[in-house]
């Protein structure tokens, strides 16, 4: 990945600046913003228009062409979970996101992979579908939440307030920044995803996570997310029905469709 122009790093001997390229509704961007807040790191934020990506973003992330991208000391890093781990490595004296124990560190990474590999795509599929396809996706979300609930009840996370222990850690940031979308999706699709009776420990964890000051500072207002999600779902369903070319799907105030439309639902 390209290195930043010297002047973008403050120039000369100025301390290395942190610059984050992100998108306001992107949960992956929120992960990095939240982590930097938890660590007390100052950063410059650059909002990207994902329908018209900047040259700087494409230069910094030529592989995936996605946000978030963190530029530190003129060098760019992509992929949110990799960025979070880098922040821990590069600022060892700040609040740690990963636990100290090697096995616990590996477990946190494993469940982060689960969040991005299984839970996130299932939630995205609920959002982008209807009928039987949606019912199957809802079952997958519930199966995945049941796995987390079991780990909280009697497994590796038993007795913990947060997945990271007494404080929000890597897995809390990763799971939490996607989980506030569950309520937004429930409202937009009228499908119940997190039933407090079925997943009481996960439900309590999510409320606790959302109540953290740094989280409240990071997550956009529900009204704004709802408006965005309604437009996005309408566009996705229209595209799925083959009506995308008519332009009717973008009649509402929906976001500009990114290049990879099929990825939209899971790319929130």
Ligand X SMILES: N[C@@H](CCC(=O)N[C@@H](CS)C(=O)NCC(=O)O)C(=O)O
Residues lying near ligand X in the complex (CB under 6 A) are found at: 23, 26, 28, 50, 65-68, 79-81, 258-260, 263, 267-268
User: How many other C-beta atoms lie within 10 A of the C-beta of residue 207?
Assistant: 10
Nearer to ligand X, 99 or 178 (CB): 178
Token duo for residue 190: 């009228």
Nearer to ligand X, 5 or 263 (CB): 263
Nearer to ligand X, 122 or 152 (CB): 122
Fill in the DSSP letter of residue 198. T
Distances (CA, A) of 57 to 3, 67, 72, 182, 216: 12, 8, 14, 28, 27
**Closest C-alpha to 21, from 61, 63, 64:** 61
Least Å from the CB of residue 264 to ligand X:
8
Least Å from the CB of residue 255 to ligand X:
10
Nearer to ligand X, 26 or 179 (CB): 26
Token duo for residue 204: 């309590």
Least Å from the CB of residue 37 to ligand X:
18
Alpha-carbon distance of 159 to 161, in angstroms, equals 7
Peptide bond just before 68 cis, omega within 30 deg: yes
Alpha-carbon distance of 239 to 261, in angstroms, equals 9
Nearer to ligand X, 152 or 264 (CB): 264
Least Å from the CB of residue 256 to ligand X:
11
Least Å from the CB of residue 249 to ligand X:
18
CB 170 within 8 A of CB 84: yes
């Amino acid at each position: 990945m390209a290195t930043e122009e010297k002047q973008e790093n403050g120039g000369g001997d100025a301390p290395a600046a942190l610059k984050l390229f992100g998108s306001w509704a992107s949960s992956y961007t929120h992960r990095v913003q939240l982590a930097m807040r938890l660590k007390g790191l100052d950063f410059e934020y650059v909002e990207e228009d994902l329908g018209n990506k900047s040259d700087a973003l494409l230069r910094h992330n030529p592989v995936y062409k996605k946000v978030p991208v963190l530029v530190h000391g003129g060098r760019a890093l992509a992929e949110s979970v990799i960025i979070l781990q880098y922040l821990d490595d590069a600022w060892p004296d700040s609040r740690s996101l990963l636990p100290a124990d090697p096995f616990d560190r590996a477990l946190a990474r494993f469940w982060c992979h689960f969040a991005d590999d299984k839970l996130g795509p299932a939630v995205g599929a609920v959002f982008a579908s209807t009928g039987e396809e949606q019912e199957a996706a809802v079952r997958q979300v519930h199966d995945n939440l049941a796995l987390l609930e079991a780990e909280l009840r009697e497994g590796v996370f038993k007795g913990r307030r947060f997945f990271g222990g007494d404080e929000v850690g890597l897995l809390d940031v990763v799971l939490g920044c996607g989980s506030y979308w569950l309520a937004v999706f429930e409202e937009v699709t009228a499908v119940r995803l997190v039933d407090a009776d079925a997943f009481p420990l996960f439900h309590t964890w999510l409320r606790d996570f959302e109540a953290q000051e740094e989280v409240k500072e990071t997550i956009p207002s529900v009204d704004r997310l709802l408006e965005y999600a309604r437009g996005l779902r309408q566009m996705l369903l229209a595209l799925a029905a083959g009506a995308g070319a008519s332009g009717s799907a973008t009649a509402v105030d929906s976001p500009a469709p990114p290049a990879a439309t099929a990825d939209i639902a899971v790319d929130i």
